[in-house]
Structure 1
């Protein structure tokens, strides 16, 4: 078994790794203890299994581990957090490096690539016709980005803890794709700061066992770089802030993380198993030996949703396994994918659930560490988020960060029926946030949802209805405003037409028909006629310009943006 105390488990793991790497040397008199430590396997959670170790060896190893821990803490102090007022500049530098890496991979500026579908063609061309240039340029920028992370990663993470206002942390998924991008764009209309785990950092810090790594890296860069205008704006309160969450490193080296992931899995999955389950080994053993019972309970529980799938869709175990593997073709490395294909169905689907839980665990951890509200972008991630919260008696809402009303509103605006909000360009979002229009919208929507919040627990469907109604009402208000502007200028334009252009027309008739001039009591030279007509047109032009300017100002407000974006 392994220790369930994170500190002791960490010390034992540090000693085990140091002994295997040759950094920890035992004197000859203690060689038997060294042999025991080196022979100890790791558990499924990645902790040292102490079943074959004597009590003396465990105590000795943990003592060595404690010394290693002190050395590590001292080293971290030397690299420790140095408060800085230029964190906006650091984010700008990070995105500049992202842009350079994207160009090195594709041979194109991000502005010249329309969508992710083009990226593969560009990379294949670069690799086929410019292999040396491709390799050299990618390696150079990768080294620069790695050096940036070495200098700034700890400071960036510490800075992420310092923001006030309505701060959110996104997550629940390994990648930053179109759904995550749209969620950030939509939520930017409401929140103050969105903390986003850096999707590029893992590519440089870990082996992700991916197929076509350069392609997948470029696609991640393409999506995250869409947020660059929000970063380059250097807003006093950053609308988005990218931070490294160190997930892969923690899963490899941190006992607290290993134990936390194991306990999360046991708390969520063990209730569908018969008997007492206390470790990941026992979960996998049950999924193999009691495969039929396990799969029946798993598929009916809704705990397994394959990649690309939606919660609530009933699949057989065979269909689920097939869809799971199919979705990973071309994404996972061939070696890993081949290993997965040979796994028993029970173990394979259990692994699928564990893969869903890992990013959720880190989302909860980041939420607690950063003092931010966790927020997700897809229904399937909300599905797991809620199940984990129920199984572990965890609140979905960070009570010291956000009200239940605001949390439910944020959940509501992620609904598919309001996906049109993601059509607002990021450059427009920058202008709205610069003018604090997101706070205005927050206050306006609160007026529509406050009654729900005052009557007790809020039903999600009811909140979606209220938010949709609120947005529709705000759009209607904008359309009325535009009509009022038109009405305001209509009498003036009518007066100009009546007294100017129409009058000029009568004068022109008199000149053209001199015999009628005495009857009209008009005798105006041609020069005067030209002046009259020109003056009328200028008067009309001024009134039209005034109307256009007012409409433009109205259109650039939050109401105007919503009105032009919302489908009719």
Structure 2
């Protein structure tokens, strides 16, 4: 059994930390009769998550700290809040944020994001600039950083507040530290179904905290590269934004906010403590237990599914040593050399526990964001779903926010993220933008609901069953598109034949395109007007008109949701 300690709730932990800081900084003065209690509070260390360690404090000192924290709250409420910097209207804030993202990317790489192909090119360009024009690179990057920091100072809080006001089927993503290819693909797929996707700003942490990263600016450029692929969705200026990027303040909250520190610690203890014999009530005690029990505890973490190396799947099996090596290998080139060196020296059981806590961290923030924003959490990878379900179970929270969407819609969204439907992510973002602008994502939502409705009547919906029905529904929609294209061809076949018999062929299509220039972009032709006009005759013109009509109808059909699905679906 662990030693006895004083248990405190989240509010008390927050007030104790505020009083502890105020006393140490000289901002809180106490009467002589309370000096001894104040000194006891100031002498208390902070635990591993940054809260006041109350395990050796007297109840009188805890009571004093709680009361002092309440006093500080009251004083803060009476002080006038400083005027915030001038901020932008929200309709302008998102495009401006993406403009600043693009400016910073160009400052780091020396090239616009649209002209860069992949991460390797980003790395090559940045290395070249560091070698050949370091001063110019530093000057441009620092100026871009300063402008972006000023934007955040004026708009970050309002962006978060505005995200709370959005309606419709709104989803909030999370469960991972970086915004990379999988996160981008998830946004592209989910955009076919949802109204608004709320995305934690992947750039803000680089300006607000020390992330202990290796090649920080390179990793920042990669994050910018992927988030900037969503620019067409932002630049479209739609009344209901398909995506909305907001700062979630995670690093700052973890460092300064007692409520966040306490909540993360409680979640971690609820998840891991059942594997421990005896009573474990804090993260510090979890690490003590891991260090003391070594191999058996490490095996328990693996057997319970609590530890999964980055990049691995929940159903993969690892030995203890193999799991530790996979964990370190995944962080090579990502974490700073200093941080990585420290991690390599840890006992394996402690290292694996650290890996569990790193997995839990983003899911805690995802659950908090979902509650604050009134949105449905959504993830993009099986491992992330695995941890999210375990975190929700430990916190006794439902996966589904019924005020946002139904069980059927929730399971459909999970199904479209299945690997078998990854082809949906090949739809270009510009095409996705056009579909959303035409409200075709809502149409697809209704159509898929027809295929999955039969599963919604039971007590629970099996994920595999839902994937099967969604796949069948998409295949049926593609078949409907193929039938529609055939019907267009049959519709025009007799008319084209009649026109042909009336006057011969030639280059009739080009002639009509010249007479009807507004249709040229749809046909994709560019033939000199003189040549086209010379070829036009009575029957030829008739044939051309019918051919143009057929091509226009086909092009319109191809640009619909059905047409896009039929184009990208593997044959």
Residue number in structure 1 paired with 2:52: 48
Q: Which has the larger radius of gyration?
A: 1
* 1:175 is the counterpart of 2:167: no
Kindly state the Cα deviation for residue 139 of structure 1 after the two structures are TM-superposed: 1.4
Residue number in structure 2 paired with 1:285: 288
Gaps of 5+ in 1: 503-529
Residue number in structure 2 paired with 1:159: 162
Q: Distance in 2 between matches of 1:385 and 1:57?
A: 38
Preserved contact between residue 303 and residue 353 of structure 1 (Cα < 8 Å): yes
Q: Distance in 1 between matches of 2:566 and 2:122?
A: 34
SS of equivalent residue, structure 1 residue 290: helix
Q: Distance in 2 between matches of 1:230 and 1:74?
A: 43
Preserved contact between residue 85 and residue 154 of structure 2 (Cα < 8 Å): no
Preserved contact between residue 84 and residue 154 of structure 2 (Cα < 8 Å): no
Residue number in structure 1 paired with 2:510: none
Kindly state the Cα deviation for residue 71 of structure 1 after the two structures are TM-superposed: 4.9
Which range moves more in the overlay, 32-41 or 474-483? 32-41
Q: Which residue among 235, 252, 256 is the counterpart of 1:253?
A: 256
Q: Distance in 2 between matches of 1:116 and 1:74?
A: 51
Kindly state the Cα deviation for residue 96 of structure 1 after the two structures are TM-superposed: 0.6
Preserved contact between residue 41 and residue 48 of structure 1 (Cα < 8 Å): yes
Kindly state the Cα deviation for residue 137 of structure 1 after the two structures are TM-superposed: 1.4
* 1:224 is the counterpart of 2:233: no
SS of equivalent residue, structure 2 residue 255: helix
Residue number in structure 2 paired with 1:505: none
Gaps of 5+ in 2: 506-532
| Equivalent residue runs for 1:94-109 within 5 Å | 94-109=97-112
Residue number in structure 2 paired with 1:236: 239
| Equivalent residue runs for 1:49-128 within 5 Å | 49-73=53-77, 77-78=81-82, 86-128=89-131
Kindly state the Cα deviation for residue 500 of structure 1 after the two structures are TM-superposed: 2.3
Q: Which residue among 411, 416, 419 is the counterpart of 1:413?
A: 416
Change (3 A) 1:10 1:450: same
Kindly state the Cα deviation for residue 239 of structure 1 after the two structures are TM-superposed: 0.4
Kindly state the Cα deviation for residue 56 of structure 1 after the two structures are TM-superposed: 4.6
Q: Distance in 2 between matches of 1:5 and 1:324?
A: 34
Q: Which residue among 14, 18, 25 is the counterpart of 2:18?
A: 14
* 1:145 is the counterpart of 2:157: no
Q: TM-score, normalised by structure 1?
A: 0.91
Q: Which residue among 445, 448, 454 is the counterpart of 1:445?
A: 448
Q: Which residue among 189, 192, 213 is the counterpart of 2:192?
A: 189
Kindly state the Cα deviation for residue 546 of structure 1 after the two structures are TM-superposed: 0.5
Kindly state the Cα deviation for residue 68 of structure 1 after the two structures are TM-superposed: 3.5
Preserved contact between residue 3 and residue 9 of structure 1 (Cα < 8 Å): no
Residue number in structure 2 paired with 1:430: 433
* 1:385 is the counterpart of 2:419: no
Change (3 A) 1:499 1:215: same
* 1:210 is the counterpart of 2:238: no
Change (3 A) 1:532 1:387: closer
Residue number in structure 2 paired with 1:499: 502
Residue number in structure 1 paired with 2:520: none
Change (3 A) 1:551 1:12: same
Residue number in structure 2 paired with 1:397: 400
Q: CA RMSD in A?
A: 2.3
Q: TM-score, normalised by structure 2?
A: 0.90
Preserved contact between residue 311 and residue 330 of structure 2 (Cα < 8 Å): yes
